[in-house]
Amino acid sequence: MFYQELFLVFILGLVFGSFLNVLIYRLPEGKSLLKPSSHCPKCETPLKWYHNIPLISFIFLRGRCAYCGEKISLQYPLVELITALLLVSIFVKFKPLYGFIPFAFFSIFAMILISVFFIDLKHKEIPDLLSFSLIFFGWIFSLTGKNPLGITFKESLLSTFSGIGLLFFINEVYYLITRRDGIGMGDFKLMGGLGAYLGYKSFYNLLFFASLIGVITFFIFQIYQKIFKGKKDSFTENILKKEIPFGPLLSISALIYLFNPKSLL
């Protein structure tokens, strides 16, 4: 029975991942998430239902549009697979011990962070819809009294505003030193959402691991630049110019903390 549930969660994860692809593509551009129906971004031909089967369609189409032959971004199957694997991991960690409610709310948490990761990476912005949704669901979760981290509504509320204030303070100090902003408004609100879910006690870990991941990423792409000179895309260009968005780093560190909060710093 448990393995059947795991398989169901994996399939649902692929389906939700497919929706996240729509959200990641359309939300920053202010487009409707419902209309028009799925279509090729290149030739704009509406896709058949069998062109939209998560992961499977990408494999059978060999990563190309069925109509114009344009390459389909690897982001699509990647988001679907990451979402499915994360939901399965959350199910295994939380469902047997804590029940359905933590699994549901932490699944929402993970899916919002996946969306933040890819949107901020590409557009250098975090839509308010995602940040405020994270705050809202974090507060609701705390009201259920089912958060395994023991976050009460009072703590969730306090952590939201202290998270926003903490990044605002860090940015002000950075501005005094460099005369330019280092953290965007979207990051402030994202930190507030993380606080709503994880509590203020997570902040040190979140900032430490986000910074550590950022430094490691920077050096990896410095090595990439030396090995593959001249072969840059928009993603590597941004990192090589030290324009690493903070939202994806916070998202990764938040997921690390979620799965193992007691063994960190």
Measured CA to CA in angstroms, residue 21 lies from 61, 71, 79, 94, 133 at distances of 17, 16, 7, 26, 17
Amino acid 174: pLDDT: 78
pLDDT in tens, 11-33: 999 999 999 999 999 999 888 77
Measured CA to CA in angstroms, residue 225 lies from 104, 213, 242, 244 at distances of 41, 18, 13, 15
Residue type, 87: L
Nearest-CA neighbor of 157 among 111, 205, 102, 195? 195
pLDDT in tens, 64-85: 876 687 787 888 999 999 999 9
> Do 258 and 182 share a structural domain?
yes
> Do 257 and 160 share a structural domain?
yes
Range of the domain at 219: 99-265
Percent of the chain with pLDDT over 70: 88
Residues contacting residue 110 through CB under 8 Å, at least 6 positions apart: 83, 86, 87, 90, 255, 258
What is the average pLDDT score of the chain?
A: 86
Domain tally, the chain? 2
Number of other residues whose CB lies within 10 A of the CB of residue 116: 27
Q: In the block, which residue shows the tokens 């901020």?
A: 120
> Do 209 and 182 share a structural domain?
yes
> Do 121 and 25 share a structural domain?
no
For residue 122, pLDDT over 60 is answered with yes
For residue 235, pLDDT over 50 is answered with no
Amino acid 37: pLDDT: 73
Q: How far apart are CA 95 and CA 98, in angstroms?
A: 5
> Do 132 and 38 share a structural domain?
no
Q: How confident is the model at residue 36 (pLDDT cuts 50, 70, 90)?
A: confident
For residue 157, pLDDT over 50 is answered with yes
Residue 46 phi, psi dihedral angles, 5° rounding: -60, 140
> Do 108 and 75 share a structural domain?
no
Amino acid 228: pLDDT: 61
Amino acid 54: pLDDT: 85
> Do 109 and 143 share a structural domain?
yes
With respect to residue 255, please indicate whether it lies within any of the assigned structural domains. yes
pTM over cut 0.75? yes
> Do 246 and 145 share a structural domain?
yes
Across residues 180-202, what is the average pLDDT?
91
Amino acid 249: pLDDT: 94
